A and B are shown apart, each in its own frame.
Chain A
Amino acid sequence: MAQLNMVQAINQALAQEMARDDRVVLLGEDVGRDGGVFRVTEGLQERFGPERVIDTPLSESAIMGCAVGMAAYGLRPVPEIQFMGFAYSAFEQLFAHAARLRSRSRGRFSCPLVVRTPYGGGIKAPELHEESTEALFCQAPGLKVVIPSGPYHAKGLLLASLRDPDPVLFLEPTRLYRMVKEEVPEGDYLVELGRARVARPGGAVTVIAWGSMLERVLKSVEGFDAEVIDLLTVNPIDFETVLNSVKKTGRVVVVHEAVKTCGLGAEIAATIAEEGILHLRGPILRVTAPDVPVPLAKLMDQYLPSSRQIQAALEEVLKY
């Protein structure tokens, strides 16, 4: 098995699925000749032609809207939004249409598309290039939100997303694109959507994270009897896995890169409170970014949850 980084794993998944299924079409800004600004789609236009790897105008709403129409017509488009911060201008198409098409047409039309976009901070890019607003998109019933944390899961989750009958927002943690290498099987394999995984077993505290924060969490919990859950899909969240762990540990820390207010940590904490409060030994703690706009590079380390903050939270809940 080859050691691949996430860029290579995603590229491989796209290439394999395009070879397998001629309905799969990529579109977006610079995805073709340039192979994408992070080179994730490198070589795909050469291999599959400009009809299938489409360099579009700089036009996020039209990219997303076109993808809705393509999907309704029977294709499986994969629109790329160059950075998550640019998705805001495509928000209406994604939120009001892609997510709702099956429902508002009562099943006459479906919208099997996979929106890929890099997300997250710590890459020293200009403003609006380091957003982590996954929770916004989790308010759209009908839209799945998937966030891999490493190359192996990136490939398996992307293949599963490409075969899902409904729209998927696939968020790729930019900071981890080339940071982690893993054994990635060359063949076809799926990682089930809507299923979390126990990334590290433990007994005293459950730490819930996903995507960009997972690597930092795994480093931070060394020396603690912590069970780390990697959600992988943040909508719908696999609360069965979460609650099973909470029943065992009675203590919970949620770590996310997004701001605290109305972040996914709130949803997770609320559900644990609803369904698992009798198993809790202490408060559910959240380690998140502060409630401020994503800063530029100089303050990024102050913004992102740090190992020190994660460990402090662990120590605090372990007092209970």
Chain B
Amino acid sequence: MSFDFKLPDLGEGIAEVELRKWLVKEGDRVSQHQGILEVETDKAVVEVPSPRAGVVGRIHRQEGETVQVGETLLTIEEGAQAGAEVPPAGRAAEPTWAEQEIQEKPAGQAQPAEVPQRRPSVGIVGSLPEAEETHETGRPEPVRLQPAPQAFQGLATPMVRKLARERGIDLNGIQGSGPRGCIRPEDLDTQGAPARARICSEVQAQVKVRLALTGDEEKIPLRGLRRTIARNVLASQCTTAFVTSMEEVDITEIWEMRMREQGEVESRGTHLTFLPFFMKAAQHALKEHPLLNAAIDDAAEVIVLKKEYNFGIAVDTPEGLMVPVIRNVDKKNIIELAEAIQELGRKARERTISLDDLRGSSFTITNYGHFGGTFATPIINWPDVAILGFGRIVERPWVHRGQIAIRKILPLSLTFDHRATDGAYAARFLGRVLHYLEDPGRLLLEGQ
């Protein structure tokens, strides 16, 4: 759409002007109210603003020429190309300022056109920028704010939010003790640890890519315990520097001992498995290697050595993996440990494992060999720094006392957090576990 700009009535009875200077040239973009030329009246030099935004199409009159009111000065190209506003349909073309002044007079008082109009005065000093009705960039798209997945909706000050971010704590899991339920920094100290398992929410958010599916697949919602497990194992992998070390050990003697004692123990109502022996060996080795019976406080940057030997035991339940805790392993004998394991098994079957049963481990045991499997790379059960896994016991030809013999061989896989200690230390620990497992008598002789 093009607009012919005609010399407006400049008021004060002026009928013609001298075109003194063009301030734009063909092809220039002009905005509304931008000065585009200077004309000289017999009173003054006046800058004439453009009533439209657009691109200067054609300049009709040259500098130095005398121009009559109403003659076309230039053509302005409006529309999409120029990015200029298009007057709404049905609306008359915008009046020039001179016309506006007439229109703004109260009805009935409009002055006849022949009465000279004084040029409008907007002030005495300076020049007032006029609001521009530019729509060149178009109407901005409304920004849609979508809550981030799992966004915390409760009350917490920025300081608490920052701390939670740094420590990888999901505030959704925290009960605020401040005014109106506001979370205080101390709440993070007392409740933050279990919730830390969701550390990777940010990472998760980033990797949450919707898979392209054909529609032929079956979908199982990630819910309940499955989701918790998913979060926990991912969090552990995200926040520990895990290394797995593997070994094999001849446990023929423990095997034989168990065979020997099994009947006696069973008669007292307790099922004796190998697990209590493994636990005892691990506990004694831990006593000599306290850096693996520990946790890391990331915020405080300290390694926390535990004085208690509370072992998380990975248990397979119908819903999935759970890790209940057997406390004070060092204060229990083999039979007491067997009883505790049996009790946990019952709770798991009856689904009565409580939150308390799941808290407070200092080290974790996983008996993955129960389902077959030689070696594995167990995932650390945060906040522990180590987990010891036991594979399936198999009969193997083994060098025993200088002879090849068929022995019962147990594979072990130790995963530890390299931040807590180094490989040599872990290897020495594993060596001690082997040492006790090879000859359970040593538990008696050397165990502390």
Q: B179 — which chain A residues lie within 8 A by C-beta? A: 282, 316, 319-320
**Segment with Cβ contacts to B, from A86-94, A171-179, A273-281:** A273-281
Instruction: Tell me whether B159 and A280 are in contact (CB under 8 A).
Output: yes
Instruction: Tell me whether A280 and B182 are in contact (CB under 8 A).
Output: no
Residue of B nearest to A283 (CB): B157
Which of the listed residues B159, B160, B179 has the most CB atoms from chain A within 10 Å of its own CB?
B159
- The interface residues of chain A, by DSSP majority, are classed as loop
Residue of A nearest to B176 (CB): A320
A305 within 8 A of B: no
| Complex alpha-carbon distance, A316 and B178, angstroms | 10
B407 within 8 A of A: no
Instruction: Tell me whether B178 and A319 are in contact (CB under 8 A).
Output: yes
Among candidates B159, B178, B182, B184, residue contacting A278 with C-beta atoms closer than 8 Å: B159
> How many residues of chain A get a CB closer than 8 Å to chain B's CBs?
10
B169 to chain A, nearest CB (A): 15
A118 within 8 A of B: no
Within 8 A of B (CB), among A267-320: 277-282, 316, 319-320
Q: B157 — which chain A residues lie within 8 A by C-beta? A: 280-282, 320
Tell me whether A277 and B158 are in contact in the complex, defined as CB-CB below 8 angstroms, given that A250-B185, A320-B184 are known contacts: yes
| Complex alpha-carbon distance, A281 and B182, angstroms | 10
Instruction: Tell me whether A250 and B178 are in contact (CB under 8 A).
Output: no
Q: A316 — which chain B residues lie within 8 A by C-beta? A: 179
Among candidates A277, A279, A282, residue contacting B178 with C-beta atoms closer than 8 Å: A282
| Complex alpha-carbon distance, A319 and B178, angstroms | 6
Q: B182 — which chain A residues lie within 8 A by C-beta? A: 282, 320
Q: B178 — which chain A residues lie within 8 A by C-beta? A: 282, 319-320
Which of the listed residues B157, B179, B185 has the most CB atoms from chain A within 10 Å of its own CB?
B157
Instruction: Tell me whether B185 and A281 are in contact (CB under 8 A).
Output: yes
| Complex alpha-carbon distance, A211 and B162, angstroms | 35
| Complex alpha-carbon distance, A282 and B157, angstroms | 6
Q: B185 — which chain A residues lie within 8 A by C-beta? A: 250, 281
| Complex alpha-carbon distance, A320 and B182, angstroms | 8
Which of the listed residues A279, A281, A319 has the most CB atoms from chain B within 10 Å of its own CB?
A281
Q: B162 — which chain A residues lie within 8 A by C-beta? A: 278
Interface residues as binary, A151-169 with B (CB distance below 8 Å gives 1, 0 otherwise): 0000000000000000000
Within 8 A of B (CB), among A133-166: none
| Complex alpha-carbon distance, A219 and B209, angstroms | 60
| Complex alpha-carbon distance, A250 and B162, angstroms | 13
Q: A279 — which chain B residues lie within 8 A by C-beta? A: 159
| Complex alpha-carbon distance, A19 and B191, angstroms | 67
Instruction: Tell me whether B184 and A280 are in contact (CB under 8 A).
Output: no
Within 8 A of A (CB), among B178-193: 178-179, 182, 184-185
Residue of B nearest to A250 (CB): B159
| Complex alpha-carbon distance, A320 and B157, angstroms | 9
Within 8 A of A (CB), among B142-157: 157
Q: A282 — which chain B residues lie within 8 A by C-beta? A: 157, 178-179, 182
A305 to chain B, nearest CB (A): 22
A272 to chain B, nearest CB (A): 11
Q: B159 — which chain A residues lie within 8 A by C-beta? A: 250, 277-281
Which of the listed residues A250, A278, A280 has the most CB atoms from chain B within 10 Å of its own CB?
A278
| Complex alpha-carbon distance, A280 and B158, angstroms | 7
Q: A281 — which chain B residues lie within 8 A by C-beta? A: 157, 159-160, 184-185
Q: A277 — which chain B residues lie within 8 A by C-beta? A: 158-159
B326 to chain A, nearest CB (A): 39
| Complex alpha-carbon distance, A319 and B162, angstroms | 19
A203 to chain B, nearest CB (A): 14
Residue of A nearest to B178 (CB): A320
Residue of B nearest to A279 (CB): B159
| Complex alpha-carbon distance, A279 and B163, angstroms | 9
| Complex alpha-carbon distance, A277 and B157, angstroms | 8
Residue of A nearest to B185 (CB): A281
| Complex alpha-carbon distance, A281 and B178, angstroms | 10
B157 to chain A, nearest CB (A): 5
B16 to chain A, nearest CB (A): 45
Q: A280 — which chain B residues lie within 8 A by C-beta? A: 157-159
Within 8 A of B (CB), among A170-199: none
Interface residues as binary, B268-290 with A (CB distance below 8 Å gives 1, 0 otherwise): 00000000000000000000000
| Complex alpha-carbon distance, A278 and B178, angstroms | 17
Q: B158 — which chain A residues lie within 8 A by C-beta? A: 277-278, 280
A281 to chain B, nearest CB (A): 5
B226 to chain A, nearest CB (A): 36
A154 to chain B, nearest CB (A): 37
B314 to chain A, nearest CB (A): 39
Residue of B nearest to A282 (CB): B157
| Complex alpha-carbon distance, A279 and B157, angstroms | 9
Residue of A nearest to B158 (CB): A277
| Complex alpha-carbon distance, A183 and B160, angstroms | 44
B183 to chain A, nearest CB (A): 9
| Complex alpha-carbon distance, A153 and B270, angstroms | 81
| Complex alpha-carbon distance, A306 and B179, angstroms | 24
B164 to chain A, nearest CB (A): 12
Given contacts A250-B159, A281-B185, 4 further A-B contacts (CB under 8 A): A280-B157, A280-B159, A282-B179, A320-B179
Q: Which residues of B contact A (CB under 8 A)?
A: 157-160, 162, 178-179, 182, 184-185
Pairs A–B under 8 Å by Cβ, sample size 19: A250-B159, A277-B158, A277-B159, A278-B159, A280-B157, A280-B158, A280-B159, A281-B157, A281-B159, A281-B160, A282-B157, A282-B182, A316-B179, A319-B178, A320-B157, A320-B178, A320-B179, A320-B182, A320-B184
The 8 closest A-B pairs by CB, nearest first: A278-B162, A277-B158, A319-B179, A320-B178, A280-B159, A278-B158, A281-B159, A280-B157
